Amino acid sequence: MSPKNLPILYANDSCPYVFRARIALAYAGIDVEHREVDLENKPPAMLRASPKGTVPILVLSGGTVIDESWEIIRWAVRQNDPEAWRGANDAALDLAEELANRNDSEFGEPSMYYKFSSDYPDRDRRQDRNDCEPFLDGLESRLATQAFMYGDALSAADVPVYPAVAGFAKIEPAWFADRFPNLDAWLKRVAASPHVQRVDFDHEPWRFEQTG
């Protein structure tokens, strides 16, 4: 545990999985000790907590470790749910899990290749973008009749997909807005949420050499 007895979050400001977890933690009003990690030089304490070595990792008081972003979202909204992000009978939470799984299995890899296409000169960038489109089409049609993923209010279901879709949209914004107008409008609505705006991205690296 941290000196202030807060849960510890191993994190990285550029990681979309961290971003989704931090939205949920902000929403639930859960303060954490943020430990900004260089993924090229992972702290031993982080690897002791979770040897698989991915961020985010949340270490709770008592030592419980949650090392999957989706599970951090679920844990956070179950701690405190001031705006009913779980939905009736947890329906929005169930949809969040489905969208998180689809995001990570169908969209994560091709969108990574598309985003970092200059690192992969042998790949077909247009094909990687094409491979992202079925997942995005599913979200786009969901938004044809409602403002958010689960009805007309922001909920847990928006959280797992927002960071990755926002990152994708920034690559070719004019093309994205034309191809996915509902998603483009949704991105602006989600970005306007105070829970999303509370997530900041200017952390200094955690100085683990001195603090353990």
Contact set with ligand GSH (CB under 6 A): 12, 15, 17, 39, 53-56, 68-70
- CB-based contacts of 157, cutoff 8 Å, min separation 6: 87, 92, 93, 95, 96, 99, 148, 149, 150
Nearer to ligand GSH, 17 or 186 (CB): 17
Cα–Cα distance for residue pair 200/209, rounded to 1 Å: 24
Chain position whose Cβ is nearest to ligand GSH: 15
Minimum distance of ligand GSH from residue 108's CB (angstroms)? 8
Cα–Cα distance for residue pair 211/206, rounded to 1 Å: 9
Nearer to ligand GSH, 7 or 56 (CB): 56
Distances in Å between the alpha carbon of 121 and those of 57, 113, 127, 129, 211? Answer: 32, 10, 13, 14, 41
Nearer to ligand GSH, 13 or 90 (CB): 13
Minimum distance of ligand GSH from residue 138's CB (angstroms)? 19
Minimum distance of ligand GSH from residue 146's CB (angstroms)? 26
Minimum distance of ligand GSH from residue 12's CB (angstroms)? 6
Does residue 163 have a cis peptide bond before it, meaning omega lies within 30 degrees of 0?
A: no
